[in-house]
Chains A and B, each alone.
Chain A
């Protein structure tokens, strides 16, 4: 079991990007029979949320968020197989990809890290993803599809995906984001939510699923 003080240390280690300490404490929790689902939910996910809030407030920069997410991942790598073997359910199943024609992965990758750090199960479809692949992801049971576009020329492809999913009768939620995307555009194309940055994408996914306002 981890003491309250150790849980505080774990929280701080994630915020500081101290992967070594995160791995050490999560491993200790695992060996001691700690409820890893609770540790993830009550300590680790709030730590990543705090990192996201710091980023959104302009208090830290992307590289610091990357280091924190990597430290978090060190812990998740230990916890995930154990939870997967139990009845533990992720917050939701999300898939993400850069739309057809867009080969950029930089924004998408940040969102993947933040979604995993928030407790979502994430399938990364990669870049240059055709509409059919997003529809197939919906068929595999993903509740949310996140679309990323970095370019003015690939942004219209988001509308194409939304229409394709509608015409195919998929009821999956669609969240969009990327440097060229705005809330107005999300409203215009009928997306369920818009994330203005990586932490904002987590909030948008939660909004789309009715988990947050």
Chain B
């Protein structure tokens, strides 16, 4: 699918949570995040992380020089979940909680 779009002259980037599949499919550009399936953009209500992943993907569109680059983001699932939970506590106004960025 990604290759079909790219071949129409439209640059593409995908978000991967499956390095094995990405290696088989060989998309033109991909950003890998070590997150569970169904959570490619992170965790609920962690808007900064969701934005970070999209920005990094778009950066790769601008910066990639060779087809097939897979860029891994320096994030972990545990960290994303901790930050997401902290953000939700802060949004509920619980004391001691503060908003955490990506």
Chain A partners chain B: no
List residues of A whose CB falls within 8 A of some B CB: none
